[in-house]
Amino acid sequence: MLVTPSIQEILQAERALLTDLHAFLESSGAPADVTQHARTALLQLDEVFLLVVVGEFNAGKSSFLNALLNTTSLPEGVTPTTDRIYVLLNGEDTELEPTADPFVVRKRLPLEDLNSIALVDTPGTNAVIRRHQTITEGFLPRADLVLFITSADHPFTESERQFLELTRKWGRNVMLIINKADLLETQADREQVLSFVREHATQTLGVTPQIFMLSARNQKRGEDEGFMRFKRTLVDRLSEKERVRLKLMTPLGVAHELVRQHTSHLEHSRTILQNDVQSFEHLEMQARVHGHEVKDELAHQLSLLEGPLNAFQERAESFINRYYRISRTLELLKPERLEQAFRTEAVADLERDLEKVLSHSVDRLMEKNLRFWEDVQHQLTSRSRENVPRSRFQMDRSAVLDALRSKTEEHTRELIEPSAAQDFSGKAQSSVMQAGLISVGGIGLGAAVIALIGGAAADVTGILASLAGVFLGAYWIPIRKRAALTQVKNQVGDAKILLRETLTREVNLEQERLDGRLRDALSPYTRFVKAEQERMNRENRRLTEFIARIEELEGRVQA
């Protein structure tokens, strides 16, 4: 390549650009194949000009090349015969030479018209063997000029359109060749195929490429006018000046595409972060809704708890009404027996009934908490399944989400354990005993309530006994009876208030613990989101700078 001082300056600027871009992509955690494209583009500045021939396996690609080179060295056939990339260089005819890439081989042929050029033959773009197309697509970014061959008998197929999309993405220059023109019987048929290919190629590439209709078979038999016109145009396109321009534009096209890919990756990652944030905000809203639901459930359970206490009050009042009579004076003079009767007839199964309702209430509250954490797990699992391209962002995000999911699983396991409900009941029992200034061990919450209101037995029977021993007159009976009834009513009322306050306090504390655990679980991801957003903003600024440098160099090359 002829290197003038101005070209040398552009080469140095492109090397600096690609070096910086490669370093940027590596530091940004871009996938290895992306950073390799940047490195290959940098190395390609020192390679010979690459004229790459692509097309479907049955478009007559190898036949076209044999006609172009006036040789029979390349295999032809009706099946995908080319299973690797052949890099053809000018020189004495030699055997195939292996390269560092197992899918790329070199071969030297007398190519005087193509001196200082490497002609590249690729596998078919629609070959049955998927690896063939992958090889060709992977080599495309290195092409300085693409000769795209389609067949006149089935022009511009869907797979060809998709491949041309790739050439546009990488900014490759394309010359489009319609081979097998000899299969078209009339000029009208030729014009129709040519018009069809031109229209769809222009739509795909965004520009109208040079299009040539020819017959490689006719060229090998003698001379094909279309083929010769193409060959003259190709020689002009491969002039020293044009080769330099195309060679300098090739790495800039790669840089443009890598910047576009990384920009798209950042936009996709930012969208994922925004969706994550929305999901976690939804979790926080769910926690608030859960808190309201728990309070509603608590109110319902407290109303159920009043049932056993109301039944006890009815039995106690009935006991007082039955025993507070002149006819039962002798029984009133025996306080131990009277107290035992009160416990048997009035207290009765209060402890069992309270424990049953309390156990059900605690189970319902624990069940709601468990359901909440299961919902959290479900949402985290759903977010972790988000399709994220392989990158450092994807790995870091997965690590943070895995840690978050691990914490929620831990909280869920804790709630499944029977000790969770026992722990909640124990705290409530402790609060009841502290509020009532009683001290008993190894009992349930229901028994703690009984211990609190159980004084009603001694107090009521004591009142009855003292009345029987001192005031037996009919005048005092209604007064003392009302006092005893009032005392039972007040103690039951106090027990209801105490239970309501105790359970409400414990439920509120449990809700605060749940909110705290959720905040603690989400805080690492919140920090991750903030750090990633700052990183993305920095990288977007760098990408904008790269675009400016690329466009400035493109202007210099085109000038």
SS3 category, 177 = strand
pLDDT in tens, 468-522: 444 445 556 577 777 778 888 887 887 788 778 878 887 888 788 888 888 888 8
Using a pLDDT cut of 90, give the percent of the chain over it. Answer: 21
The pLDDT score that the predictor gives to residue 80 is 45
CA 361 to the chain's CA centroid: 38
Contact, 152 vs 181, CB < 8 A? yes
Q: Where are the alpha helices (DSSP H) in 150-224?
A: 158-169, 187-205, 216-221
The first and second tokens of residue 383, run together, are 């977010």
Q: Which residues pair with 174 in a beta bridge?
A: 146
**Treating both helix axes as pointing N-terminal to C-terminal, what angle do 350-384 and 476-558 enclose, rounded to 10 degrees?**
0
Q: Are strands 174-179 and 117-121 parallel, antiparallel or unpaired?
A: unpaired
Q: Give mean pLDDT, residues 98-105.
A: 80
**Cα four-point dihedral sign 91, 92, 93, 94:** negative
pLDDT in tens, 258-273: 999 999 989 988 988 8
pLDDT in tens, 20-32: 999 999 998 888 8
Distance CA 42, CA 47 (A): 10
The first and second tokens of residue 418, run together, are 């029977």
Structure-model confidence comparison of residues 559 and 23, the more confident one = 23
In the predicted structure, residue 435 carries a pLDDT above the cut 50: no
Q: Which of 84-88, 199-203, 481-485, 497-501 has the highest average model confidence (pLDDT)? A: 199-203
In the predicted structure, residue 114 carries a pLDDT above the cut 70: no
Distance CA 150, CA 464 (A): 113
CA 244 to the chain's CA centroid: 45
The first and second tokens of residue 136, run together, are 């060709």
Nearest partner of 190 among 229, 219, 152, judged by Cα: 152
The pLDDT score that the predictor gives to residue 190 is 93
From residue 415, give the alpha-carbon distance in Å to each of 286, 295, 421.
18, 19, 8
Contact, 216 vs 147, CB < 8 A? no
pLDDT in tens, 371-390: 888 888 888 888 887 777 77
**Treating both helix axes as pointing N-terminal to C-terminal, what angle do 32-44 and 240-323 enclose, rounded to 10 degrees?**
170
The first and second tokens of residue 492, run together, are 């039951």
In the predicted structure, residue 130 carries a pLDDT above the cut 60: no
Distance CA 124, CA 133 (A): 6
22 exposure class (CB count in 10 Å sphere: 0-12, 13-18, 19+) = buried
Contact, 174 vs 146, CB < 8 A? yes
Round the average pLDDT of the chain to a whole number and report it: 80
Q: Are strands 145-151 and 117-121 parallel, antiparallel or unpaired?
A: unpaired
Backbone angles phi, psi at 539, to 5 degrees: -70, -35
- Tell me, letter by letter, the H, E, C secondary structure of 308-362: HHHHHHHHHHHHHHHHCCHHHHHHHCCHHHHHHHHHHHHHCCHHHHHHHHHHHHH
The pLDDT score that the predictor gives to residue 549 is 96
The pLDDT score that the predictor gives to residue 424 is 57
**Cα four-point dihedral sign 404, 406, 408, 414:** negative
Distance CA 157, CA 196 (A): 11
SS3 category, 118 = strand
